[in-house]
């Protein structure tokens, strides 16, 4: 046995929750990022990029319920002993940046950001440990109109990304409503309030009866495991249930119903007033009733948001796959205060780009993003490589992606390669062609369509020869015809 045979050979594998992305995924994501960024820019938001790492204390209490720096995030101790962590969203870095540069920033500060975030949590379907977010936030405005603008922009972003109208909805709630209701019912302990929010958050999964149990004593699931409830008395629990079910129909109708359920408490009234202002602004911004609705069952970021919260939910049929939310956000007035001690009102929204890409694919919008390959110039003869490169350069100069085959296989394998690359055409430049000043172009799109039985139109086929030998000078025009017809 040689040393080489003894060598340690790791199994080639990608860490759990991380994904390799190939061309079609990357293209779909890039298209989304470009479309959404354009929307954000058109609303006057400027791009901002911050580093992947932050000092762990900058992420602070917004780490998932724990004081262990490595819990929920990927953290490491620097050689100066300071803990740094990979950002788990784009909001915490914004708060740090805003605090650090507050004096010199135009206020309100409107920025958008696109970037990878990392979460050290248990991966699952549609739940990664590394994914891309695309955020827009307004820092330094307490006006509900700032929230309305973020909601309208998120709606425009979904549409620009390619989700047809009616395929998704923005659901809006306000933390102040439930807080007001609970205060009115005598629930003041933060822990109990969190228990109520956690129970409401499970409405989708457990239904009304399940939530009722969790608002009260608790609930045993199918496996027999018991989840302790929030411990509300029956009256308080029923008022919470009436509250979460109050959302349907027009936004103004929901507001009227909500006023009946929570009316009275100061905080609840303030929340209703904010939602009424958001509604008025959304009307002005042309956001239809079915694009953005008030839904009191929406719970997000339990300890994070202080006022309005929003969630983008997919409405269309996506088969067996469930996506969860494709984006979310809300008002967080305390993030900057962590650094400066001064409360700075802020509001923002975040798209999960991979989920949005998956949703678009499920909506049938992913088709056409299939990675289209370059025109492949067949390499026959080592001595003629320069000619082949000449052909590829000519096509590229005409704006047509092209490459020369650089493997060492024969003609048949080269054609197969071109097909696997989804090349629209292969260019053949043999000795005969070179001598005659011609070139042969093979229409691979046509071949694929015929193979897939997509055409039996004889006349069309006659007009579009599968293979043609043409004067060398006509190459670009011939390939253009193939690409044009293939689309």
Can you give the binding site for ligand AMP, defined by CB under 6 A? 89, 119, 127-128, 131, 133, 301, 325-328, 350, 352, 354-355
Place of tokens 């309100």: 108
H or E element at residue 218: strand 218-220
Cβ proximity to ligand AMP: between 111 and 219 the closer is 111
Closest-by-Cβ residue to ligand AMP is 352
Cβ proximity to ligand AMP: between 327 and 373 the closer is 327
- CA 437 vs. chain centroid, Å, equals 51
CB of 71 to ligand AMP, least distance (A): 15
Measure Cα distances from 373 to 107, 403, 422, 446 in Å.
47, 9, 5, 15
What does the alpha-carbon distance between residue 481 and residue 473 come to, in Å, rounded to a whole number?
A: 14
What does the alpha-carbon distance between residue 132 and residue 230 come to, in Å, rounded to a whole number?
A: 35
CB of 214 to ligand AMP, least distance (A): 22
Cβ proximity to ligand AMP: between 126 and 140 the closer is 126
CB of 286 to ligand AMP, least distance (A): 24
CB of 439 to ligand AMP, least distance (A): 48
Cβ proximity to ligand AMP: between 48 and 428 the closer is 48
Cβ proximity to ligand AMP: between 87 and 421 the closer is 87
Instruction: Give me the helices (H) in 245-333, please.
Output: 251-262, 266-284
CB of 131 to ligand AMP, least distance (A): 4
CB of 301 to ligand AMP, least distance (A): 6
Cβ proximity to ligand AMP: between 140 and 301 the closer is 301
Cβ proximity to ligand AMP: between 251 and 355 the closer is 355
Instruction: Give me the helices (H) in 112-229, please.
Output: 144-161, 175-184, 190-201, 203-215
Cβ proximity to ligand AMP: between 327 and 424 the closer is 327
Cβ proximity to ligand AMP: between 69 and 327 the closer is 327
Closest CA to 438 of 486, 484, 387: 387
Three-class DSSP category at 417: helix
Instruction: Give me the helices (H) in 7-119, please.
Output: 23-42, 56-59, 91-101
Task: Give the Cβ contact number of residue 281 at 10 Å.
Answer: 19
Cβ proximity to ligand AMP: between 137 and 433 the closer is 137
Cβ proximity to ligand AMP: between 293 and 325 the closer is 325
CB of 390 to ligand AMP, least distance (A): 46
- Looking from the CA of 343 toward its CB, the CA atoms found within 13 Å total 7
CB of 130 to ligand AMP, least distance (A): 8
CB of 174 to ligand AMP, least distance (A): 17
Task: Give the Cβ contact number of residue 101 at 10 Å.
Answer: 10
Residue-by-residue DSSP string for 361-395:
HHTT-STT-S----EEE----GGGHHHHHHHHHHH
Q: Are the C-beta atoms of residues 353 and 331 closer than 8 Å to each other?
A: no
CB of 251 to ligand AMP, least distance (A): 22
> Exposed (0-12), middle (13-18) or buried (19+): which is 10, by Cβ within 10 Å?
exposed
Cβ proximity to ligand AMP: between 134 and 400 the closer is 134
Phi-psi region of 186 (alpha: psi -120 to 50; beta: other; left: phi over 0): left
Q: What number of helices (H) and strands (E) belong to the chain?
A: 19, 18
CB of 357 to ligand AMP, least distance (A): 10
What does the alpha-carbon distance between residue 84 and residue 69 come to, in Å, rounded to a whole number?
A: 9
CB of 255 to ligand AMP, least distance (A): 25
Please name the residues in contact with 63: beta carbons below 8 A apart, sequence gap of 6 or more: 56, 69, 71, 72, 73, 88
Peptide bond into 63 cis (omega under 30): no
What does the alpha-carbon distance between residue 330 and residue 346 come to, in Å, rounded to a whole number?
A: 9
């Amino acid at each position: 046995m040689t040393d080489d045979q003894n060598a340690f050979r790791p199994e080639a594998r990608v860490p759990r929750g991380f994904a390799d992305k190939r061309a079609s995924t990357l293209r779909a994501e890039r298209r989304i990022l470009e479309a959404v960024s354009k929307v954000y820019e058109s609303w006057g938001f400027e791009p901002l990029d911050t580093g992947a790492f932050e000092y762990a204390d900058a992420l602070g209490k917004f780490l998932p319920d724990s004081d262990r720096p490595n819990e929920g995030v990927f953290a490491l101790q620097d050689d100066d002993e300071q803990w740094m962590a990979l950002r788990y969203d784009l909001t915490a870095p914004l708060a740090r940046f805003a605090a650090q540069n507050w004096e010199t920033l135009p206020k309100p500060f409107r920025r958008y950001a696109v970037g990878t975030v990392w979460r050290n949590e248990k991966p699952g379907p549609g739940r990664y440990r590394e994914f891309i977010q695309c955020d827009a936030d307004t820092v330094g405005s307490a006006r509900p109109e700032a929230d309305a603008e973020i909601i309208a922009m998120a709606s425009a972003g979904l549409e620009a990304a390619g989700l047809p109208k009616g395929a998704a909805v923005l659901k809006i709630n306000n933390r102040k409503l439930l807080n007001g209701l609970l205060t009115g019912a005598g629930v003041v302990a933060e822990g109990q309030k969190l228990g109520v929010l956690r129970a409401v958050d499970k409405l989708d999964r457990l239904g009304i009866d399940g939530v009722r149990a969790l608002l009260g004593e608790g609930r045993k699931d199918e496996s027999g495991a018991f989840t302790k409830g929030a411990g509300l008395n029956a009256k308080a629990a029923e008022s919470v249930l009436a509250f979460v079910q109050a959302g349907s129909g027009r936004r103004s109708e929901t507001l009227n119903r909500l006023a009946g359920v929570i009316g009275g408490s100061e905080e609840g009234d303030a929340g209703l007033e904010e939602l009424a202002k958001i509604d008025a602004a959304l009307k002005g911004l042309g956001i239809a009733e079915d694009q953005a609705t008030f839904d009191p069952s929406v719970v997000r970021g339990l300890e994070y948001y202080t006022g309005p919260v929003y969630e983008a939910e997919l409405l269309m049929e996506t088969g067996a796959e469930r996506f969860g939310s494709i984006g979310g956000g809300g008002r967080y007035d305390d993030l900057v205060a962590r650094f400066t001690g001064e409360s700075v009102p802020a509001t923002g929204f975040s798209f999960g780009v991979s989920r949005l890409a998956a949703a678009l694919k499920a909506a049938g919008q992913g088709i056409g993003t299939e990675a289209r390959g370059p025109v492949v110039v067949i390499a026959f003869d080592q001595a003629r490589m320069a000619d082949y490169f000449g052909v590829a350069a000519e096509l590229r100069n005409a704006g047509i992606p092209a490459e020369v085959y650089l493997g060492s296989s024969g003609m048949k394998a080269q054609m197969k390669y071109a097909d696997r690359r989804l090349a629209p055409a292969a260019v053949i430049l043999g000795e005969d062609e070179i001598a005659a000043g011609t070139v042969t172009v093979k229409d691979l799109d046509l071949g694929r369509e015929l193979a897939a039985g997509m055409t039996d139109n004889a006349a069309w086929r006659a007009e579009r020869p599968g293979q043609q030998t043409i004067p060398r000078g006509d190459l670009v025009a011939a390939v253009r015809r193939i690409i044009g017809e293939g689309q």
